[in-house]
């Protein structure tokens, strides 16, 4: 049995076809992974955009535990949450610009936490700070929510 060049060496067209198939598979794999990530992001935004279902009593117990733990560690401020800027009607612009009425841009869980602070914690001297936590691509990213009780 003799071996021919066709048995050993693919044509350039065959090589291009194989390369194109591999590239298409990589692109399809990337698209599948991207779709999963986007679905997870959407689910997170949907969950955070709705009410938490946590009662004020439960929230008070959680806040007390967080504050007591922070105080025992010598802290006067603690980050209590970090949220995608998509939960803010203007993607965090009013917070970044420190505009009056910025709180009207809150939705979902951030809005709930702000209302809880306003009603229960602010009268006890606690301060609340919303700020841009990161800047991906030079644009406002996540927004952090910090609670503080130290001297100004």
Domain extent listing, the chain:
5-49, 56-148
* Distance from C-alpha of 61 to C-alpha of 87, rounded to nearest angstrom: 25
Sign, Cα dihedral of 128, 131, 50, 34: negative
Give the model's pLDDT for residue 127. 97
Q: What share of the chain is helix, strand, coil (3-state, %, to 5)?
A: 60, 15, 25
> Residue 143 burial (CB < 10 Å; 0-12/13-18/19+)?
buried
pLDDT in tens, the chain (152 residues): 678 888 889 999 999 999 999 999 999 999 999 888 888 877 777 777 777 788 899 999 999 999 999 999 999 999 999 999 988 999 999 999 999 999 999 999 999 999 999 999 999 999 999 999 999 998 889 999 999 998 87
* Distance from C-alpha of 71 to C-alpha of 137, rounded to nearest angstrom: 36
By DSSP bridging, strand 77-83 and strand 127-132 are: unpaired
């Amino acid at each position: 049995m003799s071996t021919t060049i066709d048995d050993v060496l693919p044509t350039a067209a065959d090589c291009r076809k194989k390369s194109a198939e591999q590239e298409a598979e990589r692109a399809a794999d990337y698209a599948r992974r991207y779709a999963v990530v986007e679905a997870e992001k959407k689910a997170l935004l949907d969950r955070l955009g709705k009410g938490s279902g946590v009662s004020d009593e439960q929230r008070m117990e959680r806040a007390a535990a967080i504050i007591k733990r922070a105080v025992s560690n010598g802290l006067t401020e603690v980050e209590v949450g970090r949220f995608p800027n998509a939960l803010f009607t203007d993607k965090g612009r009013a917070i970044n610009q420190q505009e009056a009425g910025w709180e009207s841009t809150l939705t979902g869980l951030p809005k709930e936490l702000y209302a809880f602070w306003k009603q229960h914690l602010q009268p006890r001297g606690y301060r609340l700070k919303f700020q841009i936590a990161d800047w991906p691509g030079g644009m406002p990213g996540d927004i952090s929510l910090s609670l503080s009780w130290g001297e100004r």
